[in-house]
Each structure stands twice: as C-alpha cells, then as structure tokens.
Amino acid sequence: MKFYDRKEEMETLKSHFSLIERKSVFIVLTGRRRIGKTRLIRESLKGRKYLDFFVGVKERGLILDEFASEINEKLGYCPKFRSFDEFLGYLFNTQDNIVIVFDEFQNMLKVDAGFLYTLQKYWDKFKDEKRFAVVITGSYIGTIKKIFQNKNAPLYGRADCFLKLQPLDYKTSFEIMDDLGVKNMEDKVRLYGILGGIPKYYEYVENIADLNKPDFFEIVDELFVKRQQMLVYEGKNMLIEEFGKKYKMYFSINESISRGQNTLVQIANAIYQKPTTIMKHLMSLEDYFEIIKRRYPVTDKISKKSRYRIDDYFLLFWFYFVYRNMRHFEENRCEVVSKDIREKFNSYFGVVFENVSMDFLEGLNKKNRLQFRFDKIGGWWGHFIENNERKDIEIDVVALCDSTKDVGFYECKWQELNFSQCLKILLDLKEKSKYVVWNNDKRREHFGLVARKIEGKVKDELREKEFEVWDIDDF
C-alpha cells in the first residue's frame, strides 16, 4: 500500500535529521501499534545513510548478531559483539554523520534493562564531538514515556524531539479506501468508525478487497470472524503486555466503558468494585496508557459530571464485540459473533457516529466552512428539575468560540431522515439549548444536524432556514 499523508510529521523529522550536518540530535517517536511509525521513519530517511536496528524479544546474543548483520550489510564490515557495551562503543567510536534507529525500543527492557544506561553513557560522551541522529520508536506509549520522561530514568531529558504519532484523519482514511475500491460512502464511514486512521488495518482491507469486492459486513467477517481472524487477538496483543499483571482489571474497565457504563460509579458497579478501588486504574488508562479520555461537558471548566470514553475506534469496537465474545471464538462458534455484529451494529454505531461527526465538524472548521470558527468542541450533558423531578438532558456536540461568543449545537443521527424528522430534531435541539449555561445574555446561536442520510432536497430547504445540515454524502 502506498504511503499516505504525514506531511507535518515528515517535515518535523526531516528538519531534525538535517541538523546532523552540525550537531547530534535525539528523537523519540511513539504511537500505538500499527499506526505506521516504522514506515514514517523510512520514508523520512530516503536518501540518507542510516542503520535500522529492530529490538525483538529474544536472547541478547541473537539480537547482537542481528545488529552486527545490519552494520555489515550497510557499512561493509562489522566485528563480533559480545555485549551491548561493545556494540554501542563500536558505533559511537567509528561512525559520524549517520542516523541510528532503534525500532520497538521498549522491548530492550526485557532483553537487557542496562542498555538504557549504556546508551546514556555513550550519548553523553559523544553527542558534542560527533554528529548522530539517534531515533527511538516504541509502541507501548506508557513505557516509552516512563523511559524518557521519568526524572529518575537514565535517558530523561535526552530527547530533543518527542513526537507522538496520531491516527490518520478521516479524509485520508477515505482516500485510502477509495484507492482500495471501497467506493460506497456508508461503508467508508462504518469502516472508519471501526478501524480509525490506522494504516496497517487498511492493508488487511486491501487484501480482502482484492478477492471479491465484498460488502461491509463481509469485510468485517474477514477481519474478525472467519478463519484468518486477522484482528481477533489484536486488542490482547496490543495491551496485555503493557498492562502487565493487572490486565484483567484494565480489560474489565475498558469493556464496561465500551458498553456505555462511562461514569466512575457505573464502571465500578459493572465490574463489582468500589469506586475508590478503580480510580487509580482509570487514571493510569488516561494519563499513562492514553487509551481512555475523561470528558466533561464542553462548557464546564470545573465539573463533577465526568464521563470516560475509549479514544480509539478500533479498541472500542474490539471490546464491544470481540472481547466479550471471546469464548465463542475459542469454541469455534464464529457465526454467533457474526450474527451479533449484524444485529447490534447500528445501535452500537449511533454513539460512534457522534465522534465521527465531531471529526467531520473539526475538518470543516479548519477550512472555515461553518457559520463561525470554533476553538472548542465536545459533548454536553446536564439536567433540569420539572415538577420536583430530575430530568437528564444531553446534546451530542456543542462548539464554542470564546472570542466571538458564538455557540453551535449539533445532533448526530445514524438514521435516514425526512424533512419533518429533521425539523423536529432541530426544534427539539433549540429547546434543549436553553439549558446550556454559557454566555446566555450575549451569545450567537447556531443549530445543526449530521445524519446518515437525509432525503432529497431536504438539506437545501433546511439550509435556507439557516440550519447547518449534512449527511455522509457531504463527508
């Protein structure tokens, strides 16, 4: 599959690589598995001399042999190494004006944790007299942060550039799917809502699409259900080692969040734990592992009304449909999972579509294609009292501009809608917006709707009434 986008990241890396004409630089690139770190590094290094060392989980002697083979292939000669000290000593003493890449660096902790101190020694000794670019990549985000951002770690403060690679945006993901022959917009939106912007997953789709031009659920079956089961164990493979001995608790929390139990008390009740017990796990999932996000109503600066969400489209789908059905895979009853996905997908995707729609609105905002330009976007929820009874209220998306006091209220519906249905949703939205406390005396309000499909010329009719209305054909 061809290389897509990453212009900003490539510019950042290339600008740092260019520095080795006069000084040494230390670069750290992290990001979840399959996101394309290795490909990005190789694309950025085209035309440059570099050594590429992959750190596998194996015996030290085997890794040293592999490292020596890479040096011999690229430079024409390499001695036998008996230790990592000899390996790094040889590199730093004999080489200059070269890029040295260590791929999946976190695995070195399992092979020889002392490597970090040895690298520190040689980097500190030679960085001012030689011109190196040392590039570290790692998929375990928490571990990489610990190695380079913990004040007690030997490599703390060494990184000149710490870059976290984000998923591709929805536009680039749609471009990939176009090139793969997935032309139906609904299929694109649904696939993006499952796979996110993770390039490797679309390589799997490429292999499937080449076979028989399957529809959406056939692609899902090939990825998750049928004999190949390319992604059935992906979630476990991504997380279980990073989570360590407490993985069962972390998995249980993520599964409950995927099922819609997204407040502290709801999650604790769902997994039969006390809120105080799971609070530290939730903090780790958010701050250390960066898998979930704690969300607040977008208008609130300080709030006790927090909710948690899994911030990765693939993991959300995996925990919702795959992890809880794992026993069916182990019993070779995959057809049960396939049936479950087909029956529940639209209900599941309604919530996901809110996040996809938010991605869409952020894209429009960057291009100034909304009625105003916002600087903050998110969900909103609260309550009001009517006849001494508490009633909960929620708006899918609210966008704010502090400087102009513009506010946009948007509902997101994974449904096919006619004029009267759209108008009712928008009028109800206007009514709900009255309960949103934010610059009520001087704000300018805008109302909109994002839907799966809106009939005929309904969008034009509603836009004439100054509503902002889109369906997935506008994506």
pLDDT digits over 444-469, tens only?
999 999 999 999 899 999 999 999 99
Region 51-64: what's the mean pLDDT? 96
Does the pLDDT of residue 227 top 70, yes or no? no
What CATH number does domain 354-474 carry, 3.40.50.150, 2.30.130.10, 3.40.1350.10, 3.40.50.170? 3.40.1350.10
What percentage of the chain has pLDDT greater than the value 90?
A: 89
At residue 386, the pLDDT reads 85
pLDDT digits over 175-214, tens only?
999 998 888 999 999 999 999 999 999 999 988 866 566 7
pLDDT band with cut points at 50, 70 and 90 for residue 215 = confident
pLDDT band with cut points at 50, 70 and 90 for residue 304 = confident
Region 119-136: what's the mean pLDDT? 96
Annotate 348-368 with b (16+ C-beta within 10 A) or e (fewer).
bbebbbbbbbbbbbeeebeee
The domains spanning 7-164 and 234-332 adopt the same CATH topology: no
Q: Vertex 221, ends 217 and 225: CA angle to 5°?
A: 150
Annotate 166-194 with b (16+ C-beta within 10 A) or e (fewer).
ebbbbeebbebbeebebeebebbbbbbbb
In the predicted model, what is the mean pLDDT of the chain? 94
Region 234-259: what's the mean pLDDT? 93
At residue 213, the pLDDT reads 65
Taking the domain 234-332, which CATH number applies?
Answer: 1.10.10.10
pLDDT digits over 270-303, tens only?
999 999 999 999 999 999 999 999 999 999 987 7
CA dist., res. 28 & res. 433, Å (int): 44
Task: Give the pTM.
Answer: 0.93
Does the pLDDT of residue 245 top 90, yes or no? no
Region 325-330: what's the mean pLDDT? 91
By the 8 A CB rule, do 285 and 257 touch?
no
Domain boundaries 7-164, CATH class: alpha beta
Domain ranges of the chain: 7-164, 170-225, 234-332, 354-474
pLDDT digits over 407-450, tens only?
999 999 999 999 999 999 999 999 999 999 999 999 999 999 99
Q: Among 67-76, 96-105, 226-235, where is mean pLDDT lowest?
A: 226-235
By the 8 A CB rule, do 471 and 451 touch?
yes
pLDDT band with cut points at 50, 70 and 90 for residue 268 = very high
Closest CA to 472 of 224, 177, 159: 177
Better-predicted residue by pLDDT, 92 or 210 = 92
